[in-house]
Structures are given as C-alpha cells and as structure tokens.
Amino acid sequence: MKALVKQQSDVGLWLADVPEPTIGINDVLIRVHKTGICGTDVHIYNWDAWAQKTIPVPMVVGHEFVGEIVEIGSNVNDFRVGDIVSGEGHVVCGRCRNCMAGRRHLCKATKGVGVNRPGAFAEYLSLPMTNVWHHAPGVDPDVASIFDPLGNAVHTALSFPVLGEDVLITGAGPIGIMAAAVVRHAGARNVVITDVNPYRLDLAERVGVTRAVDVRSTKLTDVQQELGMTEGFDVGLEMSGNPSAFRDMISNMCHGGKIAMLGIPEGEMAIDWNEVVFNMLTIKGIYGREMYETWYKMTVMIQSGLDITPVITHRMPYTEFQQGFDTMRSGNSGKIILDWTV
Ligand code: NAD
Ligand code: ZN
C-alpha cells in the first residue's frame, strides 16, 4: 500500500510502498479516506530535536483520520465492516492505576499512533478496537478527519466552565481557532484570541470571536478596556506554546482565573509566580483527549450546531502531500486535509 513514511533520519517525508498492516484478534483494519496534517507531523517532517529523540525510523506517520472498517478481529463485537470511524491517537496500557480507574487520558504509558506505532498517512491502518470511534451519521467527513485535534480543542476549552465568562485564547493556530468556536458554542461572553500571524487572525474572525488581536500592535489591557472588562479574563486557553503569550495571559487574568494549557513550549519557560500566587490562579496542563468523554462532547456539539469548517483551508490528494507540508510550514493555513481515496 501507499504510505507517507519517515524513511531516514533527515528532513522530509517520503511516499513509499509498504506492506499492509495485519490485525490481531482485538484490532480492526481501516481503509483510510481522509487525513489531517497536524503540527506534530510537521515536527516529524522538520526532524527537530523532539522528533529525533522520539520517532524510530522507518515510521509511517499521521494520526488524524477518518476511514471505513474493512476487517475486524475475532474478538471484536462492537464494530462492523463498513462502519465510518476515526481513531483516538493515544493507545493506552489499560493496566496502570489511572487506566484501571477509567482515567485513560492519564495513562502512564501512552503510545502515539504515527509516533511510536504505524500511523494513518496510509491506505490502511490497524488499530485496537478500544481506540476506535464510530461516527454518528451525518458528520461531515472532512470534520470527522480532524476529530483528534478538535478533541484537543474541546478537552482544553471545556476544562473550566465558560458559560457567560470572558475567555482569552493565546495562539490562533488550528486548535486555538477550533477552541474559540467551542467556547462560543458553549456560551462564553467575550472570546478574545491572539496571534502574531495576520492570516490566522483573519481565519479566527470567521468562527465568531469577539476580537482577534495582533499582540505585536495591540495590548490586551486596551482590549479589556474597550470591551468594558474591569477584572480580567475568567478563563485562559494557552494554545501557542509561546512564553511571551503565556506571560501576557497570566498578567491579564482575573483573580481566581483558570488557565488550561495545551500549547507545548520549546523548553523551560519563566513566569512571574507572584502573579499566580497573589491572584490565586489555577493552571491545568492538558494532553490529548479524555477517553471518551471528549469524543462524545465533540459529536453532540456538532449535532447541536458547532461549525468548525472555516478552520479547514486546504484539501488535496495525498500525492500532493509535499505542497500540503510546505503550506503548513509557511503558517498561512488552517487545517490541511489529504484525500487517500484518489
Ligand atoms: P500552531 O503552531 O499551528 O499554532 C500556534 C499559534 O501560536 C501560531 O499561529 C503562532 O503564530 C501563534 N503564536 C506565536 N507566538 C505567539 C504570541 N506571542 N502570541 C500569540 N500567539 C502566538 O499549533 P496548533 O496545531 O494550533 O496547536 C496549538 C498548540 O498546542 C501547539 O503548541 C501544539 O504543539 C500544542 N499541542 C498540544 C497537544 C497536547 O496534547 N498538549 C496536542 C496538540 C497540539
Ligand atoms: Zn495506562
């Protein structure tokens, strides 16, 4: 089958013929229809320090997908050939304390699809049945293909109550923009998103934010004043991984403000801890999605009108992956979807 492979310890990805995956008794085989390119895939493409120490080569990469089940293992009772599914990209151990308690997103031994085990940028993917999400009828296939990053957005955005609250999102990447749409859907009052990239700030405007702020030219304190906010943001969603964005967020929170932090900083990141202590802030780290409450929430929010389609800016056949990665790396894109059925 065709697959996008990290074939050697170098920058790039290679379209290659690799053997079709086989399945065990608890697995399903999926014919991949569409995939999303994730920031993680770009790290792997760029072969940065994280990728070099994490990814064994050769490795089929990719983890955001939608497809159709074409074969099931003999122990699998809940899925049928023909089911349209996506997959949770974190494969958990099932045996640690958190897994045993049903808190699988807190597993101590998580393995990543397309990171530690063969991924979804391929015609076929084998997954344990415990990682498969059967889509409700009517979910747009493009949206279904990005349930994994939408799940990052939803997990973060719903970490703290947002109904009626003023929410600050730092970073208008695809996940920040989806999070903006989610908190808007969930009833936030003011939704302010920041970035330093005009293309992405324009994109954020399309999901109905209150203000898309270029922090190179506008101060958050001025935005607060314009909006009549006197005490700071109630909820912060850090989605840039950028130290100055995080520091700016901390300085603009209300007393008792809650911060959910998804963005991954490149290294250590200094903040003024006095602001955290004296303003009694809560900071919660977020990794992946809750299994499977986040998946449930994504589905029901889409059924109740959440529209994240503006974040999808490019669609192309998988054979044009190079253009897809070049566009992602330029920063002038939202989500890019590769079609594997061509
Ligand atoms: P992205 O890199 O596409 O978006 C980050 C955005 O932050 C970019 O648009 C960038 O221009 C912007 N930015 C840079 N400096 C800024 C500043 N000073 N102020 C405001 N914005 C600034 O990433 P994404 O795919 O949208 O993901 C968001 C973040 O979440 C990334 O850091 C990513 O690594 C991380 N992530 C974490 C998890 C997890 O499980 N914790 C999963 C997926 C992604
Ligand atoms: Zn575990």
Q: What's the pLDDT tens digit per position in 50-59? A: 999 999 999 9
Averaged pLDDT, 238-244: 98
Which residue positions form the known binding site for Zn(2+)?
38, 63-64, 93, 96, 99, 107
pLDDT value, residue 172: 98
Q: What is the pLDDT of residues 270-297, one digit of tens each?
A: 999 999 999 999 999 999 999 999 999 9
Q: From the candidates 22, 33, 40, 221, which is the catalytic residue?
A: 40
Mean pLDDT of the chain: 98
CA of 291 to the centre of ligand 1 (A): 23
Rounded CA-CA distance 239/171 in Å is 5
Indicate the pLDDT class of residue 89, thresholds 50, 70 and 90: very high
Indicate the pLDDT class of residue 336, thresholds 50, 70 and 90: very high
Rounded CA-CA distance 258/236 in Å is 6
Closest Cα partner for 276 from 299, 294, 250?
Answer: 250
The ipTM, to two decimals, is 0.99
Supply the pTM of this predicted model.
0.98
Q: From the candidates 22, 33, 43, 327, which is the catalytic residue?
A: 43
Whether 43 sits among the annotated catalytic residues: the reply is yes
Q: 154 by DSSP, 3-state: which? A: helix
Position in ligand 1 atom list of the atom nearest CA 244? 18
Closest ligand relative to 91 C-alpha: 2
CA of 241 to the centre of ligand 1 (A): 5
Indicate the pLDDT class of residue 225, thresholds 50, 70 and 90: very high
CA of 237 to the centre of ligand 1 (A): 11
CA of 269 to the centre of ligand 2 (A): 28
Closest Cα partner for 65 from 155, 148, 158?
Answer: 148
Q: What is the pLDDT of residues 182-219, one digit of tens each?
A: 999 999 999 999 999 999 999 999 999 999 999 999 99
- The amino acid occupying position 53 is K
Indicate the pLDDT class of residue 123, thresholds 50, 70 and 90: very high
Position in ligand 1 atom list of the atom nearest CA 194? 20
pLDDT value, residue 153: 98
Closest Cα partner for 287 from 48, 40, 6, 94?
Answer: 40
Whether 40 sits among the annotated catalytic residues: the reply is yes
Residues in contact with ligand 1 by the CB-under-6-Å rule are 39, 152, 170-176, 194-197, 200, 215, 239-242, 244-245, 262-264, 286-288
